[in-house]
Amino acid sequence: MTQTTPPAKDVPDVFAPAKLGPVTLRNRVIKAATYEGLSRKSLVTDELIEFHVRHAAGGVGMTTVAYCAVAPEGRTDRRQILWTPEALPGLRRLTEAVHAEGAAIAAQIGHAGPVANPKSNRLPALAPNRRFHVTTTSFTSAASRADLDRIVQAHAHAGRMAIETGFDAVEIHLGHNYLASSFLSQRINHRKDEYGGSLENRARLSRDIARAVRDAVGDRIAVTAKLNMDDGVPGGFWLDESIQVAQWLERDGSVDALELTAGSSLLNPMYLFKGEAPLREFAAVMPQPVRLGVKIFGRRLLHSYPYQDAYLLKDARQIRAAVKMPLILLGGITGRHVMDQAMSEGFEFVAMARALLREPDLINRMRADASVKSLCIHCNKCMTAIYGGTHCVLTGPLTGRDKPDERA
């Protein structure tokens, strides 16, 4: 067995303990938020607990629960977890189970905005402006000032509930054209008030949310944010603007670290993932008439991009050069060599998603053998598994699942 070679003295060891705000993680590897599709009636299930326990037992420093919506209309599906009194006992069981395996646990909090499913939620989706919602053939509603004030406070409430239920961190969702991210985008945000126009105005909601969460939790838990570096669409939020927003968040002192991401769940979802777009598999799990639309128009929305390891590193370097705060590198983290490269370039943490879906125990095996590399082939078919429990389709579900139309 090949023993792990320690990194150079001036480069952090990715498998050594590290501080994230007030929390000490046992290593610098974070299981990124991937919607699990395992909650029922907006509550935690035994299957969801099992999902995160497997990753905790597999060696990550922290696992991230996705997606915990801060408001009923902010879910991409009505089954997703909501911060309600009824949800708290299940969330406590979840955090206790992960802690028992020695890992920390974060809750991804956010509002899906124009990515939310109004038909599933039975509530209007909110966006900066009224716009047509392609996947549900309905219109979003323009968020009012009262809506935005309510949503900011809902994020603060989620932070307090995260502390009460034993989470070590919250990750604020400022990416993928969810609500806060949609306000950042000039392509989506056409408002004429204090939330539209200049970048300072478009960033107001993101900064207000981050401040409210920090004020609510203080230094009792870590606060991170998932920030788009670019939306991957013409006229959308781009890297030069992301650098400025990162600098503002650093100056505000509202977050302990940024996880750098890209792409738009609304306009270009494959931009984040790279690799093939599984059109046939998506069509197979969609109801009509969406299924027909995917077959006819899918390639206009679901593009394929070449995959390479550390594929977000090039852009992330520019944000690394512009801020001093801790950064989490996401995208194509497949082996110790990529992790060490991230550490050597000044990133404090790495986040992994698809590779851990394929092999939940990957981190433990990497620690034992530096030559171990992910078996993930980046086929992206795991994306279509969310409706019955997210898993790698090449290895099968972690546990048996019912069909989406059988879940309450």
The H or E element containing residue 328 is: strand 327-330
Q: Quick one: DSSP state of residue 5?
A: P
Query: Can the peptide bond before residue 289 be classed as cis, meaning omega within 30 degrees of 0?
Result: yes
The Cα–Cα gap between 124 and 116 comes to 9
186: tokens are: 């000039």
Structure tokens at 287: 């109801």
Query: 311 catalytic, yes or no?
Result: no
- Answer yes or no: are the C-beta atoms of 55 and 391 closer than 8 Å: no
Catalytic residue among 35, 67, 178, 311: 178
Q: From CA 107, how far away is CA 213, in angstroms rounded?
A: 13
Spell out the residues 6+ positions from residue 223 whose beta carbon is closer than 8 angstroms to its own: 21, 159, 169, 170, 172, 210, 213, 214, 217, 254, 255, 256
Nearest residue to 70 via CA among 58, 80, 59, 62: 80
Residue whose tokens read 């969406």: 290
Residues designated as active site = 178
